[in-house]
């Protein structure tokens, strides 16, 4: 028992240090990884002198001042959050951990920390597709998203989306209403402040049969930026992305742009189907190499032939 308590104490201490260093302005994932390579571990970074930190050429004077203040700051709030996670069975994975999804390591600005609630083994499924789209779609688009998600779930694909109203909601529902369907929801707030409130029941179902992912401490309220930033995770952990409906100014088009930069194959309904809104879809076909799909079986054949998806990226 004493060894277990000691291990827990060491883990809490490690996470507190991790949360603190992650708050230093300008010290992103790549710079932290360089520091870890340079010093070997977190404890060595925290025990390094100001001179040693400056010699890395990663810290500047302003960052160093902020880091020193964070080192001296109270640990109570961090410890409270860690204990809250443990009580609610929220798993905390940092970019240093072996469980951290390999797909995210190589994206632009990978999240330093992931908070996971549900079946974390879904991260290892190599058949993950993000189904996303407008928050204000037509009923035709809603039906399309639900039907597509259900069909792919029946063919053992894990459906990834963002939990928003509209297309996201129906993508999750389509997966959950199959016998063994699995879905992952990447949220933009902490788990104690899930949004939108209309989907609280849906999030509870996902927690039981799928996986919830956040990069934020449980009490974080979410912000306009955080809801945009989650897009890089949604497409980042997925093999491909399917955008059902998108306006020209909405977050769905932004998501397709991110997926394109991540070199993820992008699919969309055939423009002849007139799934609305489709202004963003038209732009994605022109600028992001999005491939129009006329029927679900054609999509399935492509998804089950990774070589064909790779050929899409090289066009």
pLDDT digits (tens, 9 = 90+) for 33-68: 899 999 999 999 999 999 999 999 999 999 999 999
| DSSP 8-state symbol, 29 | H
Q: Where a domain ends, among 69, 87, 105? A: 87
Identify the CATH number of the domain in which residue 149 sits.
Answer: 3.40.50.450
Select from 32, 64, 87 the last residue of a domain.
Answer: 87
Q: Is residue 110 part of a domain?
A: no
Do residue 15 and residue 69 come from a single domain? Answer: yes
Q: What is the Cα–Cα distance from 205 to 195, expressed in whole angstroms?
A: 15
pTM of the model: 0.91
Q: Point out which residues pair with 114 in neighbouring strands.
A: 93
Same domain assignment for residues 200 and 123: yes
Q: Give the DSSP letter of residue 136.
A: S
Domain extent for 65? 2-87
**What is the pLDDT, as a whole number, of residue 277?**
86
Tell me, yes or no, whether 263 lies in a domain.
yes
Residues 77 and 128 in one domain: no
Q: Which residue's structure tokens are 């509870």?
A: 204
| Residue 270 and residue 193 share a domain | yes
Longest CA pairwise span in the chain (Å): 67
Give a yes or no: residue 276 inside a domain: yes
Calculate mean pLDDT across residues 287-297. 94
The pair phi, psi for residue 214, each rounded to 5°, is -140, 150
Percent over 90 (pLDDT), the chain: 84
Picking from 167-176, 196-205, 242-251, which range would have the lowest pLDDT averaged per residue? Answer: 242-251
Q: Please say which residue of 68, 87, 106 terminates a domain.
A: 87
CA separation for the pair 203, 191 (Å, rounded): 10
Q: For residue range 279-291, list pLDDT tens digits in order.
A: 999 999 999 999 9
In total, how many domains does the chain have?
Answer: 2
Kindly state whether residues 176 and 242 are assigned to the same domain: yes
* CB neighbour list of residue 262: distance below 8 Å, 6 or more residues apart: 107, 108, 232, 235, 236
Distance CA 153, CA 90 (A): 25
Look at residue 107 and tell me if it is in a domain. Answer: no
In a domain, residue 297? The reply is yes
Residue 280 lies in a domain: yes
* Tokens, residue 106: 């190589």
């Amino acid at each position: 028992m004493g060894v277990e308590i000691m291990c827990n104490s060491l883990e809490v201490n490690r996470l507190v240090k991790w949360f603190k260093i992650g708050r230093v302005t300008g010290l992103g994932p790549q710079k932290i990884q360089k520091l870890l390579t340079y010093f070997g571990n977190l404890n060595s970074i925290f025990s390094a002198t100001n001179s040693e930190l400056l010699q890395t050429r990663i810290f500047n004077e302003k960052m160093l001042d902020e880091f020193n203040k964070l080192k001296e700051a109270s640990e109570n709030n961090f410890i409270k959050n860690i204990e809250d996670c443990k009580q609610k069975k929220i798993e905390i994975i940092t970019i240093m951990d072996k469980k951290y999804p390999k797909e995210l390591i190589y994206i632009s600005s990978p999240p330093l920390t992931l908070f996971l609630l549900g079946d974390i083994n879904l991260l290892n499924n190599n058949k993950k597709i993000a189904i996303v789209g407008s928050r204000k779609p037509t009923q035709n688009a809603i039906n399309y998203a639900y039907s597509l998600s259900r069909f792919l779930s029946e063919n053992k694909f894990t459906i990834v989306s963002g939990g928003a109203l509209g297309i996201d909601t129906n993508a999750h529902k389509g997966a959950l209403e199959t016998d063994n369907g699995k879905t992952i929801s990447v949220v933009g707030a902490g788990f104690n402040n899930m949004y939108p409130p209309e989907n609280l029941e849906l999030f509870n179902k996902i927690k039981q049969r799928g996986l919830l992912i956040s990069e934020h401490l449980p009490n974080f309220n979410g912000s306009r930026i955080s809801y945009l930033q989650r897009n890089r995770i949604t497409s980042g952990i997925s093999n491909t992305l399917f955008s059902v409906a998108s306006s020209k100014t909405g977050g769905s088009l932004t998501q397709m742009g991110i997926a394109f930069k991540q070199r993820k194959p992008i699919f969309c309904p055939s423009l002849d189907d007139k799934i609305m809104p489709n202004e963003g879809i038209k732009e994605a076909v022109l600028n992001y190499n999005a491939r129009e799909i006329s029927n679900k079986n054609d999509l399935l054949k492509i998804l089950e032939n990774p070589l064909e998806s790779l050929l899409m990226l090289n066009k």
